[in-house]
Amino acid sequence: MDTANSAETIDVAAYNNEGKEIPRGRHYAIKIDRQNYVVKSEMITGRELLLLAGKTPPERFQLNQLFRFGRVEKVELDETVDLATCGMERFATIPLDQTEGRPGRSDFLMPEADSEFLEANDYQWETIREGSTHWLIIRNFQIPLGYNCEKADLALQIPPSFPAVEIDMVYFHPALNLKNGRTIGALASQSIEGKNYQRWSRHRTPANPWRPGIDDVSTHLSQVTHWLERELNHH
């Protein structure tokens, strides 16, 4: 095998996004959570990937492989992953003990990057499963001045293939109203945890689509804050 070719580094996600066949016998640039890594073989185990990302002991983490169009597959510790597989975009880790010591319900696990963001910002959060629907609830979310309350519980519906698939809209309890009396448009009622949450039908546009590998709970909450402030400044 040509030594120069064998040292060539292949960007796995870029090749897959362009629909190009990934050559074998090279080095491979991959992403785990938000970090980039280079590995020297297309064959690697789930355990090796977790250790590469500094997730120790690996038994305390779940590894997911994310593909184009939202497909997500769990990778077992001793399972061998073929990085030359068509359609693979990146990996995501989930700590299996992330809920220890945190009050509230935890019906499902959030990706590590999201749980770290929520904890770092001192959010009071819970995960709730109702039937096949998953909800992330943030208690006492700060509401900008100009509304009928300073804080409200905020709910986000988490899709099964998140974060490859977007979070859409936002839900508040109690319902928000503007102090100036102006009506807020595109609202509806949604039952969550036995309460009537107020659904804000706000969506991303084709010019501002969800970006897998970039967007997450933190960026969606930035959108929510923008929506709240836009209503205050609407004329």
pLDDT at 61: 86
| Cβ-based neighbour number of residue 162 at 10 Å | 24
The candidate with the shortest Cα–Cα distance to 174, out of 149, 193, 194, 157, is 149
Mean pLDDT for 104-109 is 84
pLDDT at 94: 80
Topology adopted by domain 3-95:
Ubiquitin-like (UB roll) (3.10.20)
For the record, the structure tokens of 42 come out as 């297309």
pLDDT of 173-205, one tens digit each? 999 999 999 999 999 999 999 999 999 999 998
Angle between helices 217-233 and 112-120 (to 10 degrees): 50
pLDDT at 103: 57
Give the whole-angstrom CA distance, residue 143 versus residue 86. Answer: 44
pLDDT of 35-81, one tens digit each? 899 999 999 999 999 999 999 899 988 888 888 766 778 899 999 99
Sketch the domain layout of the chain as residue ranges.
Answer: 3-95, 112-233
| Cβ-based neighbour number of residue 75 at 10 Å | 20
- At 1, the pLDDT band (50, 70, 90 cuts) reads very low
pLDDT at 105: 84
Q: Give kind and range of the element (H or E) at residue 82.
A: strand 80-82
Q: Does 153 have pLDDT greater than 70?
A: yes
- Mean pLDDT value across the chain: 89
- CB within 8 Å of 155: residues ≥ 6 apart: 135, 136, 137, 138, 170, 171, 172, 173, 190, 192, 197
The separation between CA 20 and the C-alpha centre of its own chain, rounded to angstroms, equals 26
Q: Does 129 have pLDDT greater than 90?
A: yes
Q: CA-CA-CA-CA torsion for 155, 160, 165, 168, nearest 10 degrees?
A: -20
The separation between CA 30 and the C-alpha centre of its own chain, rounded to angstroms, equals 18
Mean pLDDT for 197-218 is 92
* β-bridge partners, 75: 63
Global model pTM greater than 0.85? no
Q: Does 148 have pLDDT greater than 50?
A: yes
For the record, the structure tokens of 231 come out as 């209503």
